[in-house]
Amino acid sequence: MHTLIVFLIVLVISTPIFLLLIRDFRRRQMIHTYLKRQLDPLKSELKSHEHNPAKQFELLDPIYRAVVFQTHSKLKMKRARLEEMVSDELNRLLKSRRSALWSSIVVIGRGVLALIMLSVSTASGYIVYTELETSDLFGPKQVESQTATILGDTFELPGQIASPEELGMALAYHMSQFDESFAIRYIGKNNDFEQMMEQAGDWIETNHIYVYRLSRQWETQFTDYGGYVDIEFDIAYDMTTEQAHQIEEKIDQVVEEIPTGLNDYEKVKYVNDFVVLNTAYNLYSVASPFTPYSILFNGEGVCEGYALTTLLLLEAAGVEARYISGEAGTELHAWNLVKLDGAWYHLDTTWNDPVPNRPGEVGYNYFLVSDETLRADHTWEEETYPVTATANYH
């Protein structure tokens, strides 16, 4: 740790010194070169007028002005400072051969010093980088796995991430905490980064559909270090952590109010009726219409909010259910699959809710229906989801 601090200090000090020296070297070297180029053809003439200051001035003034003009646009420094540097360098070159030689040595010496500072800065930077790589100060190093639970779903952050599945697990963990910016270190093979990310996303969608649907916008940036990849994520969500906890409490409250002694069919009907009677379809809701928060606390939302709320309530009531996405007509749509008596059925609480909203009225046209019935106005990737019973539930 002490070594790291020392080299950080050296790096902080040496880097700006190097930058200043290299800038000063470049300026002086350019001025020196331009002046030498202009003075060399006039050496004899200047020598012949060494006792005639007026004549020397007449020869040198155009050189002075020309060099100032030529270097000003290239060096981009204040005019007064440039004129001072040109004047000083011109005087050194004119005094004597010894002075001219010393001027060249000074310019070269500044360049050498800049190179020395560059070496110090580079060496310090490398040592700092090496120290950081082996320390726990920065980066997403994970030594022990971690777990988190939300709405009865447990999320695990693996100790190491070397496969798309483990990457999906790590992502789901951070998403369950509604982390907006975080980094993950991936140590597995990454020949196709996009395919790896797609596989990780598929894993989350399959295993943790709730947090997957609540993430709205992703931005990723990765740095490949050869043996591992650091992936930085920025994710926008439709909800906050606080809202997720409020939903958890509300789900528990609603389930506690379900009458005791109901069988699974009656629980499904209770959930269907609760969602329909307490919700109005509204794309422009106060909170995000895609969330259970909007459904449970504002009584409004769209199909995704309906389906996620239905899923949470059914699972909390002990009924096996799934979220399903597809299309209804030409529009994207979402609903649920419910398992009763060993068979699956479709449940579309959105389409069971009359539009415009009619308080107290519940529809059952899309209540526990078969694939054959739902195909009349819904489409979905059927190979992705369980096949339902051949007939509607009676």
pLDDT in tens, 166-179: 999 999 999 999 99
At residue 289, the pLDDT reads 95
- pLDDT, tens digit, 9 for 90 and up, residues 299-316: 999 999 999 999 999 999
What's residue 140's pLDDT? 42
Q: How would residue 150 be classed by pLDDT, with cut points 50, 70 and 90?
A: confident
* Cα→Cα distances 188→206, 251, 328, Å: 22, 39, 40
Give 33's pLDDT tier (boundaries 50, 70, 90).
Answer: confident
What is the structure's pLDDT at 254? 96
Tens digits of residue pLDDT in 9-24: 654 565 666 566 667 7
Tokens of residue 10, six digits: 């050296």
pLDDT at 324 > cutoff 70: yes
Considering the chain, what is the average pLDDT of its residues?
Answer: 82
C-alpha triplet 237, 239, 244: angle, nearest 5°: 130
For residue 53, what pLDDT is reported?
75
Q: How far apart are CA 70 and CA 54, in angstroms?
A: 24
C-alpha distances in angstroms, 380 versus 12, 146, 329, 346, 383? 59, 36, 11, 12, 9
d(CA 204, CA 155): 10
What mean pLDDT comes out for the span 223-251? 91
pLDDT at position 17 is: 64
Query: Could you tell me which residue, 213 or 75, shows the higher pLDDT?
Result: 213
- Sorted by where each starts, the structural domains of the chain and their CATH numbers stand as 2-133 (no CATH), 146-237 (3.30.110), 241-384 (3.10.620.30)
Higher pLDDT, 148 or 230: 230
Three-state DSSP at 157 gives strand
For 31-38, what is the mean pLDDT?
78
Confidence of residue 381 (pLDDT cuts 50, 70, 90): very high
* % of the chain residues with pLDDT over 90: 47
pLDDT at 145: 65
Strand-pair category, 331-340 with 343-347: antiparallel
What CA–CA distance (Å, rounded) separates 337 from 272?
12
Q: What is the mean pLDDT of residues 243-260?
A: 94
Give the pLDDT confidence of 154-167 residue by residue, as tens digits: 888 988 899 999 99
Tell me what pLDDT residue 320 has.
96
> What pLDDT is attached to residue 9?
63
- Under the banding of pLDDT at 50, 70 and 90, the label for residue 4 is very low
| Calpha distance 312→349 (Å, rounded) | 13
CA angle 338, 344, 348 (to 5 degrees): 45
The answer on pLDDT for 144 being more than 80 is: no
